[in-house]
Amino acid sequence: MRIESVTPIFVDRYLFVEIRTDTGLVGLGESGAWGFQEGTAATVERFAEYLVGQDPLKIEHHWQYLYRWTHFRGSVVMGAVSAIDIALWDIAGKHFETPVHQLLGGKVRDRARVYYHVFGETTDELCEGIAAARGEGYTAVGHLTPFVDAPRDESYFETHVRKIENAAASVARYREVAGTDVDLCIEIHRRLAPYEAVQLGLAIQEYTPLFLEDPVLPDNIDEMAYVASKINIPIATGERYTSHWEFQMLLARGGAQMVRPDVCLVGGITGARKIAAIAEASHVGVVPHNPLSPVSTAACLQIAATAPNFVLQEFPNETWGSAGDMRPDPAKLVTGAALHDGEGFVHISDEPGIGVALQADAEQRYPYRKRQILTRLHVDGSVVDQ
């Protein structure tokens, strides 16, 4: 069996990769470098120059070859490696007529607990989202920021005291709405300096969040470790990391109690499985990052199925975060999309490969939408992380 073609496919805001073999098998993967889809697609096409004619089952060898070829790293390169790796695992599962998780050692669970995305430009809207998720049977909500999802074209200013006290008051309201039936995954989106993150963490730990995600920028691992050492809330981070080596350094410094590898960015299923194993050795939980499509979800579920230390799976809702900005209907985008079971879980598919396939008309039904370059500014004109 040999690879015949490697094709990047733009659909809505997603970038998929299809790999076809001379036996007729087709593997499907997805890139997680969502801000740089065009660059990632060009990298996939360069990698195709090597991959065409190769044995698709030599997955680890191809991973090492592509990763170490030019000595350059980063999100564009690793988004391409990840999409290719997922597609190769998909082919392997179909070739052996078994789900990928069986090739990874078999399932340790049949269902994966998920958390639902909650968006809102006001605290009231976020509380309504928590109540709606609870009503639908979810036992965890995430993407839940105490700073609300204000439009990026609005300038920002708050005094320090308002910033911390208003955020803490919002988390108190979230807990009131959620009760003890729903876990809160508090998302900071790297908006705080280390001293601010410690103050906020101390102020909200009485509301028992499941984790505090990305309280500070991930660029300095020691800063994340500093915050983790000062508060009594588990730190979750890692969605911007692009290799298992970064996660090893993070855990060696005690910088997280839950890791958030993006399967579509850290080297695919190959990279994410290694991260899960590194985390297991430190008794650290795994919460795969997944703001993408049902293809990403299907790939993540292979990790959820096989990692003993899996905690929770991010499960996007029907919007991109703004009212009316709808994601593609999962059933019209792919076959085999994972569905919420009404009890806070999704079933882990036993279909060969990763269990999903792109619908034939997906590219025409959902034309590509390029992301606008837009970041928020402070009232003084400087850049704000959001």
Catalytic residues, by residue number, are: 189, 289
Cα separation values, 120 from 1, 130, 139, 149, Å: 49, 10, 19, 6
Question: What residue has token string 């001379």?
Answer: 22
Determine how many CB atoms are found less than 10 A away from the CB of residue 122.
12
For residue 292 the two structure tokens come to: 């993408």
Distance of CA 256 to the CA centre of its chain: 16
| Strand 357-358 with 334-335, pairing | antiparallel
Distance of CA 77 to the CA centre of its chain: 17
Return d(Cα 109, Cα 114) in angstroms, integer: 13
Distance CA 246, CA 327 (A): 31
CA proximity to 266, closest of 73, 39, 51, 91: 73
Q: Which two tokens stand for residue 17?
A: 């990769």
Sequence-separated (6 or more) residues with CB below 8 Å from residue 159: none
